[in-house]
Amino acid sequence: MPDQYQTPLLDALKACTIKPHAPFYTPGHKRGQGISPVLADFLGEKLFRADLTELAELDSLFSPQGVIQAAQTLAAEVFGAAQTWFLVNGSTCGIEAAILATCGVGDKIILQRNVHSSAIAGLILSGAIPIFINPEYDPVFDIAHSITPNTLESALQQHPDAKAVLTVYPTYYGVCGDLGAIANITHQYNIPLLVDEAHGAHFAFHSELPTPALAAGADLTVQSIHKVLGAMTQASMLHIQGQRIDRDRISKALQLVQSTSPSYILLASLDAARQQMALNGEQLMSRTLQLADIARSQISQIPGLSILSPKLSPGFRELDRTRLTVNVTNLGLTGFEAEEILDEELGVTAEFASLQNLTFIISLGNTASDIEQLVQGFKILAQKYRRNRVIVKGQNFVHNWEYAVQISPRQAFFAASETLPIEQTGDRICAEIVCPYPPGIPVLMPGEVITTAALAYLQQIQTMGGIISGCADSSLQTLKVVQN
C-alpha cells in the first residue's frame, strides 16, 4: 500500500530548487534571477526558484513515469479512484476532456441545464449534441438543484443512443441529488456517468459530508482541489473508475486542453494537498463542519434572514453543510446589494451573489474569527441596512426552461455571425455563450434559440447589479447571432 506520508513530486521540486547548475532552459527568468524585482519583493525569491520546466527529475505531465505518476497514484488511493490525472488548467479542462473522450461529432450527451460553461465548451470542441434536462427548482430560494432520477430515465428512454450523461454534484449551493440512483439508471444503458464534482473534493474525508461521486457510482469525476481543499488556484484532479471510459482517450483529450508547459508549483500543490487530507482530512473537516454549524445556527437566528437547509426531495438528497446560502429578501435587499455592503463596508466577502441570496464557502482555511466576522456582518446588515421595500422575486432561468437547439453548439460557434441590438435578437440562433458569473451557468449558448424569457432574465440580473460574462458585449446592448 502506498505511503501517504510521501510527497514525491513536492520532494523532487524541492531538490531541483537547490541543485547547483547553470540553467539554459525555460522559463526565461532562470530560477528567479531575471524576474521583476517588484514581483520578487512581493512574492519572495524562493517561489521563483521552484518555477521550473519539465526537467528529467520532475517527470512529464503527459507521459508520467516518475514522480508525477507516483503522486497521481497516491491521489487515486486517497480519493477512491482507479486512476487519477492532475490538472493545471482547472476543472474546466477536465470537463472538456471528459466530453471529448466519450463523445464525437453528432453524438448525443444528456446534461442537466445548470451545467457550468466548461461543459458548453466541451460540446463546442467535441461536436456533441446536447440533450438538456431541467433540474428540480426551489421556488423559495429561486435556485436550481439536481436532476431527478425520473427525469433522467425519461430522457434516456427518448434518447437511448446517448453516449454519456453529465451531471453536477454538488451544485454551487452545495445541493446533492440522488447520484446513486442516477448512476444505476445511466449504467442500465451501458454508458458512463460523468460528474462535475468541482465543489465536492472534500466529501471523501468525513462521514457527515455527502457521499463522494465515485462511491455513489460515477465513472468519472472532476474535482477542483483548489476550491475547497489546500491546492493553489487552477489545480484540480480528474478521477476515473470502471471500464466504461477508455483511459487512453482521457489522456489524449487532456493533451488537447492542457498547457504543454505545466506549472510544477501547481502540480506540487496537488501533491501536498493530497498528503494533508490523507493524514489529517477527518480532523480538518470536523473543524470545518463545526465552524459551518456555528455560522448556520447564529445567522438563522437573525430576523429577516433564512438559510438553505437540508430537505428531502427527488433533486435534493443531501446538503454540504460547509456551503452556506443566506436569503436576504426579507431585509428589502437584493443579494447583489447585500454582497456590496458586506464586502465594501463590513469586511466580509461572499463567494457569489444572486438576486435573492448570498453564498459562502466555509473551508479548512477559515478560522473562528472569520465566522465571528461573518455573523457580526449579517447582524449589522439586518440592523442598519434593512429597507422597507419588497424585492420582486425573479424566476431562475432553469425553471421550466425550454432549450431549443437548432444546430449544434459547435456549428453555431463556427458559423458566420452578425451582431444585432438585443431587442432584435428574439427567435434568432445565439452564436456566443452568455452567463451571469459566478456561478458561470450559461443562460444562452451557441446553437440555442434566443427567447424572450432568456433576455428578460439576463436584463433583470444586470439591472439588479449582476455581472454578465462570456459574450462580446457585457453591457447586453447587443448579442451575436448566427447569420440567416
Phi, psi of 46 (to 5 degrees): -60, -35
Here the cell at position 254 is 487532456
Do 448 and 375 fall into the same domain?
A: no
CA angle 38, 42, 48 (to 5 degrees): 85
Q: What pLDDT does residue 51 have?
A: 95
Do 419 and 287 fall into the same domain?
A: no
**Residue 373, domain extent:** 282-384
Here the cell at position 6 is 510521501
Q: What pLDDT does residue 439 have?
A: 67
Domain count, the chain: 3
Q: What pLDDT does residue 404 have?
A: 64
Q: What pLDDT does residue 142 have?
A: 87
Do 194 and 289 fall into the same domain?
A: no
Do 344 and 426 fall into the same domain?
A: no
Do 210 and 313 fall into the same domain?
A: no
Distance, in Å, from the CA atom of 291 to the CA atom of 277, rounded to the nearest integer, reads 18
Here the cell at position 451 is 427567447
Category of 353 on φ-ψ map: left (φ > 0), alpha (ψ -120 to 50) or beta: beta
Do 371 and 437 fall into the same domain?
A: no
For residue 137, what is the domain's CATH number? 3.40.640.10
Do 67 and 136 fall into the same domain?
A: yes
Distance, in Å, from the CA atom of 440 to the CA atom of 457, rounded to the nearest integer, reads 15
Q: DSSP assignment of 224-256, as one string?
A: -HHHHSSSPTT-EEEEE-SSSS-HHHHHHHHHH
Q: Is residue 150 part of a domain?
A: yes
Distance, in Å, from the CA atom of 389 to the CA atom of 271, rounded to the nearest integer, reads 51
Q: What pLDDT does residue 224 have?
A: 98
Here the cell at position 15 is 531538490
For residue 444, what is the domain's CATH number? 3.90.100.10
Distance, in Å, from the CA atom of 223 to the CA atom of 252, rounded to the nearest integer, reads 19
- CA 215 vs CA 183, 192, 372, 419, 442: distances in Å: 10, 15, 35, 47, 29
Nearest Cα residue to 253 out of 156, 164, 356: 164
What Rg, from alpha-carbon coordinates, does the chain have? Answer: 23
Domain ends where: 267, 291, 315? 267
Q: What pLDDT does residue 469 have?
A: 82
Can you tell me which residue has the cell 434536462? 133
Nearest Cα residue to 117 out of 161, 172, 165, 163: 172
Q: Output the tens digit of pLDDT for each of the chain's 484 residues.
A: 679 999 999 999 999 999 999 999 999 999 999 999 999 999 999 999 999 999 999 999 999 999 999 999 999 999 999 999 999 999 999 999 999 999 999 999 999 988 998 999 999 999 999 999 999 989 889 889 999 999 999 999 999 999 999 999 999 999 999 999 999 999 999 999 999 999 999 999 999 999 999 999 999 999 999 999 999 999 999 999 999 999 999 999 999 999 999 999 999 999 999 999 999 999 999 999 999 999 999 999 999 999 999 888 999 999 999 999 999 999 999 999 999 999 999 999 999 998 899 999 999 999 999 999 999 999 999 999 999 887 766 555 554 555 667 789 999 999 999 999 999 999 999 999 888 765 667 888 899 999 888 888 888 878 877 788 888 898 889 999 999 8
